[in-house]
Amino acid sequence: MPLLTQAELLLRYDGRRIGDCVLDDDQRATDTEWQGGGVPGQRVLTAIADAEGELISAVTVGSRYYAQDIDTVVTATPDCYSSRLVKRIVADLAYGNLLKRRGLPAEDFAALAPAYAEAQQKLTMLRMAERIFPDVPGVPEAGLPGTEGSIPDLTANAPPLISQIAFPYFGIINQPPYGPGRPRSPYYGGYY
């Protein structure tokens, strides 16, 4: 199930602005046209799907969520904070994706879609776990990166490094007593 429908996009953006982005003949598509199954509708659905992909990619890189977590929170509890935030981010990204079709200069694009930059910032914050979806079970209790319990200590049971084991045989390079001009090891008579 998609995270955002065309009707939900219409709730968040002016249909005329969306209609301006989906036809290539300088005409405006009506709400019925771009919510239907024709070419304008397929362009809107593609922009929404691309935006969903960006969101899922960002949250899974942060290793705090799975794609199923986001899908579940949107479908199971559609009126919760997390669901509304997901829909807002996807809508802002989708509108930006539609507007990118026009090939506008960066200044014009930024002026017409300021929410796209905000959505990108939210994705970065989600990726870095500076922002979370609190309605996903277990996430608020997990803590922030760097806090105890959020990241397992991988060095606790790790085997020693080869350099920690082999230094009596090969010496420690550039550290006393085996630095430059001194023997490498008590077992090796060579000098640097």
Residue-wise pLDDT for 75-98, tens only, equals: 888 888 888 999 999 999 999 999
Strand partners, 185: 188
Residues of the chain with pLDDT under 50: 146-151, 192
Q: How far apart are CA 33 and CA 49, in angstroms?
A: 18
Look at residues 116, 86, 102, 111 and name the one whose alpha carbon lies nearest to residue 2.
Answer: 86
Q: Give the number of other CB atoms < 10 A from CB of residue 109.
A: 17
Residues 166 and 102 in one domain: no
pLDDT, position 119: 93
- Sign of the dihedral defined by the CA atoms of residues 141, 145, 149, 152, in that order: positive
pLDDT, position 142: 53
| Structural domain for 131, as ranges | 6-142
Identity of residue 62: G
Residues 96 and 173 in one domain: no
- Asked if residue 129 belongs to a domain, the reply is yes
Contact 53/69 with Cβ under 8 angstroms?
A: no
Residues 82 and 175 in one domain: no
Residues 80 and 166 in one domain: no
User: Both tokens of residue 61?
Assistant: 């890189």
Q: Is 190 helix (H, G, I), strand (E, B) or coil?
A: strand
